[in-house]
Structure 1
Amino acid sequence: MILPSDVAAAATRVHDHLRTTPLVEADPATFAPAAKVWLKLEQLQHTGSFKARGAFNRILAAAEEGHLTDAGVVTASGGNAGLAVAHAAAQHGVPAQVYVPETAPAVKVTKLDELGANVVRAGRKYADAYEAATQHAAETGALFCHAYDQLEICAGQGTLGRELLEQTRGELDTVLLAVGGGGLMAGVAAALEGDSGVVGVEPRTAPTLDAALAAGEPVDAEVSGVAADSLGASRLGDIAHAVAARTGVESVLVDDDDIVAARTLLWERHRLVVEHGTAAALAALLSGAYRPREGERIAVVLCGANTDPTDLVQPIRSG
């Protein structure tokens, strides 16, 4: 279980290691005419996603408790979590080993190499990489950093929620954010408990939160679709489910076509390059899957930028 006090402790711990990412007011005519909409540009965080928040909190907390050894850290990740752990480990001067599935996007694997991580391909699914990473941790004593279902990881991600409250001076009704394994959702919902609501947005092709809320517990879900490289967890984390149930997190599903349209709009109108998973949160507004009430104050979290931008620019055809 994660509480607001865990997020507060994380905020103190990681303060000097993270960027305060911009919050910009969006044109309501584009997104939701009846509401006030901000875009939280968390794709500008270190390593291009919110994952740096949790990675720093996990590693710094372990160092404080004497649990960080020369064996360094290890994680299993198709990309963003691995990038964050590799960056945080390098900043702390310890080695990082990152297990990735063979399907991990090349753009993310290249960045892992650039950060100095030892990248190991293990199997075709995240579950295969996860098993290899936990085995490595057991054999070497390396600190295991879960991609999303670990108290320190979730609390670190929750610092984004505290940042939103500060930037909006508390005048915030709802946060729309994308959900995969649920670490970001868990942290933000815990941070905002009693202040603002959280809506978890997922592709219909990867409904881990929706399936868990329907079943009353985390269950396996079939995962595919355009955002599977970043929202590829097949099961919501236990911490995320507990927080969602406690705080009343809402679930909204969007179609892949709407995700693509939202990502394209962000590029064409605002020159913002984000992952498909990130664009899912905005797709909820643009498609009408989430309908704001009159005057609702909404922050849409754009939480990842590690993507191949070549499909955003259409080739010019000669006439």
Structure 2
Amino acid sequence: MISGADGVSVTRADVDDAVARTTGQVRRTPVLAAEPWPTVDHPPQHGDADDRRRRTEDADGPLWLKLEMTQHTGSFKARGAVNRLRSAAESGELTDAGVVAASGGNAGAAVAWAAARLGVPAEIYVPTTSAAAKVRRLHALGATVTQVGREYAEAYQAATGRAAQTGAVLCHAYDQPAMVAGAGTLGVELWAQTGGVDTVLVAVGGGGLVAGVAAALDGLARVVGVEPVGAPTLHAALAAGRPTDVPVSGLAADSLGARRVGRIAFDVAVRCDVGSLLVGDDDLVAARQWLWDRYRLVVEHGAAAAMAALTAGAYRPTPGERVAVVLCGANTDPSDLP
């Protein structure tokens, strides 16, 4: 690992180490060739509807969908959790005290699942506002669950204190090198499955996934982060020149609800020239519905952000451009998909 301005960062070498560590432990998720290029007829939030239709029809390169929502526990988070815990086991950091994490959803489930595979206890701290279904799922995965505070930051503070008290391994949801490098294994896998792409669109919350993919594909492909207008963590950081707090709201707040992009994600984004696009809640709904209508794929609203960059016209592919969209999670209620 290299040192950035605010601490450690993640490189392709770290991702390659994670590939060796996680192969056979996580799923090699499928890639789907999507045709034709998507257009969605709904009131656009980003540009004229005719202009949006023209620019998608003009794009004639392949479009790939990386179906990461079929990963263990329903999201990409399993990759980072396995890499974090297995690397901790290799170094002797992981003991019978187990692991502690704070999460409102996908990260906690992934850590609990990975801990169970290694036979160590997991304690997951969640806000009191967490959905009852998510809490039940954590219990079902064998975790001890403690509800504290109303926001993730309060749960994380409690988890940090507990880890210091017990000697358990602390897992951050998105701002630890092993977590980011583990997420980056998706990028290595995607490159091999497609034979190479020009651009990868990735949803951004705390930034662990976009940083991992960007590190994995550094010098090979452009990586673009896509964020809801109600949670623009990377967008705000790039504008300010540093990670900065943002207010969080909107449909995707349950999965893309970090108030600040991670330090590692910011460092990698600057180093690898990762851009940020914004999409609205209506765009998320339309993209999620398009995936269901066209391919019967169920994703959460946060995961639909990457697809919305295309269906809403926020991203304009050039003729012949090879584009991949990462569909990163499916922990959602599908009852609103007619």
TM-score normalised according to structure 1 size: 0.96
Q: Distance in 1 between matches of 2:138 and 2:333?
A: 15
- Letter in structure 2 aligned against 1:114: A
In the alignment, what sits opposite 1:141? Answer: 167
In the alignment, what sits opposite 1:27? Answer: 35
- Letter in structure 2 aligned against 1:184: L
1:12 matches 2:12 = no
SS in 1 for 2:38: helix
Structure 1 gaps, min length 5: 314-319
Q: Distance in 1 between matches of 2:36 and 2:146?
A: 45
Percent identity over the alignment?
64
1:86 matches 2:90 = no
Q: Distance in 2 between matches of 1:134 and 1:81?
A: 15
In the alignment, what sits opposite 2:247? Answer: 222
Structure 2 gaps, min length 5: 1-8, 40-55
193, 196, 208: which one aligns with 1:183: 208
Aligned residues: 312
Q: Distance in 2 between matches of 1:250 and 1:131?
A: 31
Offset at residue 132 of structure 1 (A): 0.6
Offset at residue 113 of structure 1 (A): 1.4
Contact 1:207 1:221 in 2 (8 A): yes
Offset at residue 27 of structure 1 (A): 1.1
1:37 matches 2:45 = no
Contact 2:69 2:330 in 1 (8 A): yes
- Letter in structure 1 aligned against 2:31: L
Q: Distance in 2 between matches of 1:29 and 1:156?
A: 30
Q: Distance in 2 between matches of 1:283 and 1:168?
A: 21
In the alignment, what sits opposite 2:225? Answer: 200
- Letter in structure 2 aligned against 1:129: A
Q: Distance in 1 between matches of 2:99 and 2:174?
A: 15
**Where has structure 1 moved over 4 Å in runs of 4 or more?**
none
1:251 matches 2:259 = no
Q: Distance in 1 between matches of 2:12 and 2:88?
A: 20
Q: Distance in 2 between matches of 1:101 and 1:296?
A: 43
Contact 1:107 1:308 in 2 (8 A): no
Offset at residue 28 of structure 1 (A): 2.4
In the alignment, what sits opposite 2:182? Answer: 156
184, 194, 211: which one aligns with 1:168: 194
Contact 2:37 2:63 in 1 (8 A): no
Q: How big is each residue's C-alpha offset from its partner over 1:210-258, in whole Å with a ceiling of 9 and x where there is no partner?
A: 0000000000011110000000000000000000000000100000000
Residues 267-306 of structure 1 mapped to structure 2, 5 A cutoff: 267-306=292-331
In the alignment, what sits opposite 1:316? Answer: none
Offset at residue 29 of structure 1 (A): 3.4
Contact 2:109 2:138 in 1 (8 A): yes
SS in 1 for 2:257: coil
- Letter in structure 2 aligned against 1:226: L
Contact 1:97 1:120 in 2 (8 A): yes
TM-score normalised according to structure 2 size: 0.91
* CA RMSD, 1 decimal: 0.9
